[in-house]
């Protein structure tokens, strides 16, 4: 194998693939990246067996071939190389890298040891606007659970059907759901549970312009554009019936400026308990009051104007959950709907321009 590539392209490609490489593995070849020189491109691939990533960059190919190279060291070399063309030569498992007056030699592993990527071309395939898919990911995946006791909640539910695509994530205390129209059709009716790490890779690797092709086999999913691919194993099992926890009878509504509300909660969170992060919120005519009391630390109070005309009500929330929800809430104002101090509250963009809903379970208030 013999080729030349720009330093910036190599650095960018390595940055895209390196995040997939496991930090600890009992299979040495998984610490390597597969380099393939063919068809005028250098293809870089990495995998942890659950998620696989492939990126193609422009290159001048003199001799086609393939080799695996230690990912961490190769990425560090690519980052530190001078701004000059990079010449890569490989014979067997020996890789030589030259740029300017810099010379490196690394030893890889045989390409036969590198795992093959999943076959996902035989199943369903459809396309989505990249902007829609990336928005689905960014506005929901933050809410997944990190607890290993309920592994099904460690995934994001992706529902397809009726000309729409929805993603839902929850950890049992908060929930985020976004629905967007599916342009062009072609998608099957399906409920897929996707690892959030794979969706984060999609969010990192793909641009917002154009379309992303999605293919599905029985237990794998592939996201592709002409130059980039992400493959992931799906999480198997039934996802909980999240719809039954979304209240339909919340009769109290408050509208607040999203940025002002988030700023007030951040200030209150400074004094909130490190264990519960509890913030007391009191709604009354036109006003929302905040109060935090933490034994042995102190207390804080604040109030802000809101559009609210219902009965006075006090409710407690985990400040961190509220801040996450508000961080991803589009538009200037947020609509908060609730019924009682022990019932879940929902948060939506006040303008209604997006079919986006977040839910936060309240915390019990201590007098």
338-366, pLDDT tens digit by residue?
999 999 999 999 987 799 999 999 999 87
- What domains appear along the chain, each with residue ranges and CATH number? 2-113 (3.10.150.10), 124-242 (3.10.150.10), 246-360 (3.10.150.10)
Helices 130-140 & 196-205 angle (0-180, nearest 10): 140
CA–CA separation, 245 and 129 (whole Å): 30
Provide the b/e sequence for 271-301 (b: ≥16 CB within 10 Å). Answer: ebbeebbbbbbebbeeebebbbeeeeeeebe
Q: Which of 366, 51, 25, 11 is nearest to 194 (CA)?
A: 51
At 321 the three-state DSSP class reads helix
Q: Quickly tell me which residue has 């940025």 as its tokens.
A: 259
| CA atoms within a 13 Å half-sphere pointing along the CA-CB vector of 193 | 15
The answer to whether residues 213 and 127 touch, using CB atoms and an 8 Å cutoff, is yes
Q: Is 255 in contact with 334 (CB distance < 8 Å)?
A: yes
Quote the pLDDT of residue 177: 98
Give the pLDDT mean for 190-204: 94
CA 248 to chain centre: 28
Residue 107 pairs in a beta bridge with 94
Q: Cβ atoms within 10 A of the Cβ of 61, count?
A: 18
The C-alpha torsion from 318 through 324 and 325 to 330, rounded to 10°, is 150
> How many other CB atoms are there within 10 angstroms of residue 129's CB atom?
18
Give tens-digit pLDDT for 247-297.
999 999 999 999 999 999 999 999 998 889 999 999 999 999 999 998 889
Banded pLDDT at 184 (limits 50, 70, 90): low
Helices (H), the chain: 7-18, 71-80, 130-140, 196-205, 258-269, 319-328
Phi, psi for 23 (deg, rounded to 5): -75, -30
For the whole model, what pTM was predicted?
Answer: 0.90
CA dihedral 291→294→300→303, nearest 10 degrees, is: -10
Q: Which of 127, 191, 195, 129 is nearest to 159 (CA)?
A: 191
pLDDT at 367: 63
- Average pLDDT value for residue range 319-323: 96
Taking 80 as the threshold, does the pLDDT of residue 185 lie above it?
Answer: no
Q: Tell me what the pLDDT averaged over the chain comes to.
A: 93
Q: Using the predicted structure, report yes or no on whether residue 123 has a pLDDT greater than 70.
A: no
Could you tell me the CA-to-CA distances from 100 to 6, 77, 79, 83 in Å, in that order? 12, 13, 14, 8
């Amino acid at each position: 194998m013999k080729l030349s590539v720009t330093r910036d392209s190599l650095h960018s490609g390595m940055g895209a693939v390196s995040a997939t490489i496991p930090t600890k593995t009992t299979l040495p070849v998984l610490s390597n990246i597969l380099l393939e020189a063919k068809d005028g491109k250098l293809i870089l691939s990495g995998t942890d067996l659950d998620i696989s990533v492939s990126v193609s960059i422009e290159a001048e190919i003199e001799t086609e071939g393939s080799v695996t190279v230690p990912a961490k060291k190769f990425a560090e070399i690519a980052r530190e190389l001078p701004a000059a063309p990079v010449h890569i030569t490989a014979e067997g498992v020996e890789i030589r890298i030259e740029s300017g007056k810099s010379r490196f030699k690394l030893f890889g592993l045989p390409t036969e040891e590198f795992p093959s990527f999943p076959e996902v071309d035989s199943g369903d395939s459809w396309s989505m606007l990249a902007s829609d898919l990336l928005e689905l990911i960014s506005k929901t995946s933050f809410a997944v659970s990190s607890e290993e006791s309920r592994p099904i909640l460690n995934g994001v539910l992706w529902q397809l059907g009726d000309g729409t695509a929805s993603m839902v994530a929850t950890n049992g205390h908060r929930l985020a759901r976004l629905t967007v129209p599916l342009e062009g059709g072609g998608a099957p009716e399906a409920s897929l549970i996707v690892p959030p790490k794979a969706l984060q890779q999609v969010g990192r690797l793909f641009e917002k312009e154009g379309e992303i092709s999605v293919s599905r086999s029985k237990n794998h999913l592939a996201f592709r554009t002409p130059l980039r691919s992400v493959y992931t194993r799906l999480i198997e099992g039934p996802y909980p019936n999240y719809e039954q926890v979304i209240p339909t009878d919340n009769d109290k509504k408050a509208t607040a400026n999203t940025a002002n509300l988030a700023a007030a909660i951040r200030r209150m969170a400074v004094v909130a308990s490190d264990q519960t992060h509890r913030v007391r919120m009191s709604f009354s005519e036109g006003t929302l009051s905040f109060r935090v009391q933490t034994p042995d630390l102190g207390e804080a109070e604040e109030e802000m104007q809101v559009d609210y005309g219902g009965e006075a009500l006090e409710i407690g929330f985990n400040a961190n959950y509220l801040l996450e929800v508000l961080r991803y809430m589009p538009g200037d104002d947020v609509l908060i709907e609730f019924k009682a101090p022990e019932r879940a509250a929902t948060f939506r963009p006040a303008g209604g321009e997006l079919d986006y809903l977040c839910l936060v379970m309240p915390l019990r208030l201590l007098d």
